[in-house]
Amino acid sequence: MKKKILIMRHAKSSWSDEKLRDFDRPLNSRGEKDAPKMGRYLKEMGIIPDQIFSSPAERAKLTTLAVAKELGMDSVAIRWDEELYFGNPMAYLNAIRSADQDSSVVMTVGHNPMSAEIMSALSLQSFTHQVPTAALACFEADVENWKDIKQSGCKLLWIVSPKDI
C-alpha cells in the first residue's frame, strides 16, 4: 500500500520584534499569504493529510493552522511536537513513524535545516540547498506500516514553493 508523506517548511516569519525569542516569532505578511496558498494547492491536488505533525513554534503553528483551514481539517488531526523545533531530523522521521495506522497521508511542518535534511534522508536526493519558506515536498513510500518508513526508502513525487504556483 502506498503512503504519502508531505514535508513542509513553515511560511516566512517576521523579524520585526527583536524582543521576541525565536520560538515566538509570527509570520510576516508574505507568510500570511503563502501558508493558505499552499493549503489551497494541496486541496487542488486532492491530497489531504490524515494527520499533521507540527512544530509548536509560532511561525510553524500559524502555517499549520492556515493550511488545515484551507483543507477543512479538524484541529484534532494536528499533533504539536516540540521535537520538531528542538530536536534533529530524526524527530521528523519518528513523528512520521508514529502516525496512526489508518492514515494514508501524513504531513510535517517544521524548520530548516531539519526539513531539508529529512527530505534528503527520505529520498537520497540532496536538498541541502536552501528549501524556501512554505516549500512543500511530497514523497511516496510503498509500506504497509508507518513504522516501516526507512531513510532512503521513499520516492520524491514533487516539491513546490509558493513562487512556483
- Cβ atoms within 10 A of the Cβ of 27, count? 24
pLDDT for residue 125: 81
- Give 107-125 pLDDT, tens digit per residue: 999 999 999 999 999 988 8
Asked whether the beta carbons of 47 and 105 are under 8 A apart, the reply is yes
What is the tally of helices (H) and strands (E) in the chain?
5, 6
pLDDT for residue 151: 87
Residue 70: pLDDT over 90: yes
Q: Which domain holds residue 88?
A: 2-164
Residue 18: pLDDT over 80: yes
Cell of 16: 520585526
- Give 37-60 pLDDT, tens digit per residue: 999 999 999 999 999 999 999 999
Percent of the chain exceeding pLDDT 90 equals 90
Cell of 39: 493549503
- Give 71-113 pLDDT, tens digit per residue: 999 999 999 999 999 999 899 999 999 999 999 999 999 999 9
User: What CATH number corresponds to the domain at position 9?
Assistant: 3.40.50.1240
pTM for the model stands at 0.96
Cell of 128: 541541502
How many domains does the structure of the chain reveal?
A: 1
Q: Could you tell me the pLDDT band of residue 30, with boundaries at 50, 70 and 90?
A: very high
